Amino acid sequence: MLKSLVLTAALLGAAPAFASGFPVTVRSCDREVTFDAAPKRAVSNDVNLTEMMLVLGLRDHMVGYTGISGWKTLDPAYRDGITELPELSAKYPTKEVLLGADADFYFAGWNYGMRVGGAVTPATLKPYGIKVYELTESCVHIMKMPKASMADLYDDLLNLGRIFGVEERAEKLVAGYRKELAQFRAGLSPLKHPPRVFVYDSGEQKPFTAGAYAMPTALIEAAGGHNVMDDVQTSWTKVGWESVIAANPDVIVIINYGKVTAKQKEAFLEDNPALANIPAVKNRRFAVLQYAEATPGPRNIDAIKRLAAAFRD
């Protein structure tokens, strides 16, 4: 599916004709942002946000991307789509990096290229004419919102479509995702009991995991499971191992990225005596998602399919 999405974007054209509907106003977290024309010098942060831009065929409206090589890698199918674009910063960009690129748009999120109270925020970039659209999943860091759902991804793609004047393309893409997911779920074999699932991102002293507002909650539920940390009222966060043991998960989903491999994370879990009696560890029920599958982006539907298969093994 991943390669087909890239090919679709390529066939549709990397430099689409602008719609005549400007100005447009979109909701970004707790703000409304108005665009008089499609951005011409956009920057995206992180692999999943960059993939959203590319799947919509927006490469020619970008001057670069940030926040990938410092932690992870871009999928080869998408890397081919941005050969001409520079990585402006290996990790979070500074304000000077964005100004140096003469950016007019920054697609990022809270803890996805921006930090609350940091030097790079919508407010600090506004005086320089750089408009910001915030990843919906990340809005929980600055406002109240419902727990994560697939609508978070769909809304971001539709808003990007409006911002860049490719609304029809975005609508077709989202409609395709909705149909594909509905058909897949309709064909799933029923489970007697939803498996209890723990998401293990990283960390040894305290695990970094996905709470109610992180995308894996939506992916796990769509696949027929239950995130045992969905009572944690944030997105990505650290918890104590005691809470993991008490939750007694049937399956552990390992997020694969960075220097510590999924195999190494799995070995750590198996070698930890405190976790030995957890059903997921005892029965070696581990599922692996790549970082860009577990965060909002065009690989989420495939991630649901892989989780559904793992839950039924």
- Determine which of 61-70, 234-243, 298-307 has the lowest per-residue pLDDT on average: 61-70
Average pLDDT over residues 132-154: 97
Average pLDDT over residues 6-20: 45
Residue 15's pLDDT is: 42
Task: List where CATH 3.40.50.1980 sits in the chain.
Answer: 2-178, 196-311
Return all residues near 204 (Cβ < 8 A) that are at least 6 apart. 268
Residue 77's pLDDT is: 65
Query: Distance between CA 103 and CA 43 in Å, rounded?
Result: 7
> For the segment 41-90, what is each residue's pLDDT rounded down to a tens digit?
999 999 999 999 999 999 999 999 999 988 766 666 666 667 778 999 99
Residue 75's pLDDT is: 66
Return all residues near 184 (Cβ < 8 A) that are at least 6 apart. 301, 304, 305, 308
Give, to the nearest 10 degrees, the angle between helix 215-222 and helix 150-163: 120
From the options 3.40.50.300, 2.60.120.330, 3.30.365.10, 3.40.50.1980, give the CATH code of 196-311: 3.40.50.1980
Residue 76's pLDDT is: 66
CA dihedral for 4, 71, 124, 145, sign (positive or negative): positive
Decide if pLDDT at 18 tops 50.
no
User: Which residue shows structure tokens 């590319």?
Assistant: 54
Residue 71's pLDDT is: 75
Q: Is 246 exposed, middle or buried (0-12, 13-18, 19+ CB in 10 A)?
A: exposed
Parallel, antiparallel, or unpaired for β 226-227 and 31-35? Answer: unpaired
Residue 10's pLDDT is: 42
Decide if pLDDT at 21 tops 50.
yes
Comparing 75 with 235, which gets the higher pLDDT?
Answer: 235
Which of the four pLDDT bands, split at 50, 70 and 90, describes residue 3?
Answer: very low
Which of the four pLDDT bands, split at 50, 70 and 90, describes residue 2?
Answer: very low
> For the segment 177-228, what is each residue's pLDDT rounded down to a tens digit?
999 999 999 999 989 999 999 999 999 999 999 999 999 999 999 999 999 9
Maximum C-alpha span of the chain: 62
Query: Distance between CA 131 and CA 129 in Å, rounded?
Result: 6
Residue 153's pLDDT is: 98
If you average pLDDT over every residue of the chain, what do you get? 92
DSSP lists the bridge partners of residue 26 as 33
Residue 73's pLDDT is: 67
Comparing 126 with 10, which gets the higher pLDDT?
Answer: 126
Taking alpha carbons only, the member of 254, 154, 113, 185 closest to residue 105 is 113
Tokens representing 39? 């951005």
Query: Distance between CA 273 and CA 285 in Å, rounded?
Result: 17
DSSP lists the bridge partners of residue 24 as 35
Decide if domain 2-178 falls under CATH 3.40.50.1980: yes
Terminal-residue alpha carbon distance, the chain:
23
Parallel, antiparallel, or unpaired for β 251-256 and 131-134? Answer: unpaired
Decide if pLDDT at 31 tops 90.
yes
Which of the four pLDDT bands, split at 50, 70 and 90, describes residue 6?
Answer: very low
Comparing 258 with 15, which gets the higher pLDDT?
Answer: 258
- Determine which of 81-90, 130-139, 238-247 has the lowest per-residue pLDDT on average: 81-90
Query: Distance between CA 271 and CA 150 in Å, rounded?
Result: 35
Structure pTM? Answer: 0.91
Tokens representing 11? 């066939």
Taking alpha carbons only, the member of 96, 45, 118, 308 closest to residue 195 is 308
